[in-house]
């Protein structure tokens, strides 16, 4: 089975395989991130290689992607925070169908698609290449051995990362240096990425208290926010949430331009 992630997934406790979960035991967590200022204009990448192919796509930098229409921030990552030695809850039955699925990270129009891929340790990463030119895919993991594969045009390589990574791992192409992406590797499906409107949803969390960690590639941990009109500190991007049955909405969270300023 192939699953190309657009968004992430969620976290869950279950009574066992093949058993329908009681709806009162689960809840969804959602939040929308918006840029608290004038949206920055997209910056075109400097195409230094294979310009006859890559130059026609209008590739832009994706460190910070802000929707000009609603200021939504794409590619904010959220995942269940677990301390060292903590076990993740078992997955809700809805996630068992994709527990061993393939997750595609494609070289498409001289960029990585998706920009952030979410991968479970039980799943297989498929490194694809839809372009007419060859690409290189280098993944700088910390716990797992790093990889560095050359993928010919229309080719693909399957790979598994068996160990959990604490943070997203950088993906790059040494042939086309403007290409950048990320892979988050976890042993559970309790993670998500914000869409083009800044919204992310972690579905089917077990009811109770959990800590969710938020990260974005340019800011690092999302640690300074405006929530409900108040300046709030999320230490190391961590937020304790109490999940009740149904939808649990953190609302619209504003991120100031200073959070993304170069140090």
Rg (alpha carbons) of the chain, rounded to whole number: 19
- pLDDT 10s digits, 167-193: 999 999 999 999 999 999 999 999 999
Q: Is 245 helix (H, G, I), strand (E, B) or coil?
A: coil
Please name the residues in contact with 235: beta carbons below 8 A apart, sequence gap of 6 or more.
Answer: 223
Q: Would the pLDDT of 233 be above 80?
A: yes
What local confidence, expressed as pLDDT, does residue 9 receive? 35
**Selection from 254, 165, 195 nearest residue 74 by Cα:** 195
Q: 87 versus 244: which is more confidently predicted?
A: 244
Its domain, for residue 18, covers 2-260
Q: Would the pLDDT of 44 be above 60?
A: yes
**Long-range pairs of 79-83 with CB within 8 A, sequence gap ≥ 24:** 79/8, 79/184, 79/186, 79/190, 79/191, 79/192, 79/212, 79/213, 79/215, 80/11, 80/186, 80/188, 80/190, 80/191, 80/202, 80/210, 80/211, 80/212, 80/213, 81/211, 81/212, 81/213, 81/238
Please name the residues in contact with 38: beta carbons below 8 A apart, sequence gap of 6 or more.
Answer: none
Q: How many domains does the chain have?
A: 1
Q: Would the pLDDT of 141 be above 90?
A: yes
pLDDT range class, residue 161, cuts 50, 70, 90: very high
| 0.85 surpassed by pTM | yes
Over residues 7-15, mean pLDDT: 33
Q: Would the pLDDT of 196 be above 90?
A: yes
Q: What is the CATH number of the domain that holds 199?
A: 2.60.40.420
Over residues 41-62, mean pLDDT: 96
């Amino acid at each position: 089975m192939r699953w190309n992630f657009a968004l992430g997934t969620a976290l869950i406790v279950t009574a066992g395989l093949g058993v329908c979960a009681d709806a009162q035991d689960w809840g969804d967590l959602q939040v929308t991130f918006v840029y608290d200022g004038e949206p920055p204009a997209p910056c075109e990448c400097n195409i230094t290689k294979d310009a006859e192919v890559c130059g026609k796509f209008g590739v832009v930098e994706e460190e910070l992607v802000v929707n000009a229409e609603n200021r939504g921030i794409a590619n904010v990552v959220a995942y269940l925070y677990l301390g060292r030695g903590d076990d993740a809850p078992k997955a809700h039955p809805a996630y068992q169908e994709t527990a061993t699925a393939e997750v595609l990270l494609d070289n498409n129009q001289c960029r990585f698609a998706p920009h952030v891929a979410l991968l479970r340790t039980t799943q297989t990463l498929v490194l694809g290449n839809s372009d007419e030119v060859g690409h290189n895919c280098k993944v700088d993991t910390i716990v797992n051995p790093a990889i560095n594969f050359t993928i010919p045009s229309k080719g693909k390589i399957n790979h598994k990362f068996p160990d959990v990574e604490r943070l997203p791992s950088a993906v790059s192409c040494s042939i086309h240096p403007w290409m950048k992406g990320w892979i988050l590797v976890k042993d559970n499906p309790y993670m998500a990425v914000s869409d083009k409107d800044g919204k992310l949803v972690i579905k089917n969390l077990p009811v109770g208290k959990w800590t969710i960690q938020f990260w974005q590639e340019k800011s690092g941990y999302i640690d300074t926010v405006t929530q409900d009109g108040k300046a709030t500190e999320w230490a190391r991007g961590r937020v304790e949430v109490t999940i009740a049955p149904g939808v649990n909405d953190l609302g619209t969270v504003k991120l100031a331009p200073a959070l993304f300023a170069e140090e």
